[in-house]
Amino acid sequence: MNPCRYAFIPAGNSLFLRIEEDTFMYPYIYIFDRQIGTYGLCMMVGFWLAGILALRKGKPLGLKMEDLVIVAAMTFGGTLVGGGLLYVFVTYPIDQIIEFIRQGDFRFLASGLVFYGGLVGGGLCALLGAKISKCSLSVLERSVVPFIPLGHAVGRIGCVMAGCCHGFEYDGPLALYYPHSLTGLSPDKGYFPVQPLESVLNVGICLFLLWYEKKMKRTFELLLLYLGLYSVSRFFLEMLRGDSIRGVWSGFSTSQYISIALLAVSVIGVVWCRKSAPKSEASA
């Protein structure tokens, strides 16, 4: 593998990024001769972008920066643990996991992430962070939830770079080719652009949530709406995927089963919120 090298070229007081190859689909970039994975970089940029926008939106609602930092740190840790664990369980058989542990080989824990696992792990840790910081859940929901899909959209760009979470083989318009895929894809075959499509849908969900937030009446309503919208989109996006490591049972992937469960929870939750939950503090 000969990954693309990005060179910073001084020009006065500025630094410019120069691409030395004719394509940008590379799993690594090099900054001052240090190798950086584009998947992790995009994930970090998405997390950072969501955090900055959440703080900007939350300040008028009373969200303090130190509270958001605590919640963000807890969320980030929970995302890595939850996403990593779900990836492990859908990728490796239980007996193989036990054998890895018996041999003291824990490299499998750093092999990848699954979004739903990160969402659950990050969400639980965010609640813990809110309790520690004594941050209002209503304010946190209004500030953070609309930007979760935006951060996710940026993270999916990293999937394009690494060649993971790819679509089925496809040679039509907008087909993607992966000359340096980390997952061993053929550089001569085209694949459906499911990751960019998911990014576009996530941006759309973000814009819708920002619009709906002004109409929100109940705490957790916005979060439940996000879970419902994403679960529906993810269920159908899974039909366009071509990677085989996601775990498939009875014709449905792990993420499709989770999507069905989340959709049911979101529908029941919204109905319950509208009937009995207290009004959102920020709208009272």
- The pLDDT confidence band at residue 279, using thresholds 50, 70 and 90, is low
Classified as helix, coil or strand, 163 is coil
With the CA atoms of 238, 161, 27 and 22 taken in that order, what torsion angle do they form, in degrees rounded to the nearest 10? 140
Does residue 194 fall inside a structural domain? yes
| Tens digit of each residue's pLDDT (9 = 90 or more) over 198-221 | 999 999 999 999 999 988 878 889
Residue type, 238: E
**pLDDT score of 282:** 54
The better pLDDT of the pair 4, 199 is held by 199
Query: Other CB atoms closer than 10 Å to residue 2's CB: what's the count?
Result: 8
Confidence (pLDDT) at 17: 39
In a domain, 198, yes or no: yes
Q: Is residue 271 part of a domain?
A: yes
Name beta bridge partners: 167: 241
- How many domains does the chain divide into? 1
Residues 48-90 have pLDDT tens digits of 999 999 999 999 999 999 999 999 999 999 998 988 888 888 7
Q: What integer pLDDT is reported at residue 120 of this predicted model?
A: 92
pLDDT at 37 over 70: yes
Is pLDDT at 137 greater than 70 in this prediction? yes
pLDDT of residue 3: 40
Mean pLDDT over 178-188 rounds to 82
Task: Examine residue 80 and state whether it is found in any structural domain, yes or no.
Answer: no
Q: What is the pLDDT of residue 244?
A: 67
Q: What is the pLDDT of residue 228?
A: 96
Q: Which of 79-83, 96-100, 271-275 has the highest mean pLDDT?
A: 79-83
C-alpha 50/C-alpha 91 separation (Å) is 29
The pLDDT of residue 141:
94
- Gap between the Cα atoms of 167 and 211, Å rounded: 31
On whether residue 172 sits in a domain, the answer given is yes
- Residue 267 included in any domain: yes
Q: Indicate whether 242 belongs to any domain.
A: yes
Q: Is 35 inside any structural domain?
A: yes
Q: Hunting for tokens 């972008």 — which residue is that?
A: 49
Kindly report, residue by residue over 234-245, the tens digit of the pLDDT: 999 999 998 766
The confidence score (pLDDT) of residue 247 equals: 62
* pLDDT of 5: 36
What is Dmax (Cα atoms) for the chain?
62
The residue with greater pLDDT, 162 or 249, is 162
In this predicted structure, what is the pLDDT of residue 234?
A: 96
Q: What is the pTM of this model?
A: 0.83
Domain around 277:
6-63+135-283
| The predicted structure's pLDDT at residue 11 | 36
pLDDT at 155 over 70: yes
**Banded model confidence at residue 23, pLDDT cuts 50, 70, 90:** low
The sign of the dihedral angle between the CA atoms of 136, 137, 139, 145 is: positive
Residue 280 pLDDT class (50, 70, 90 cuts): low
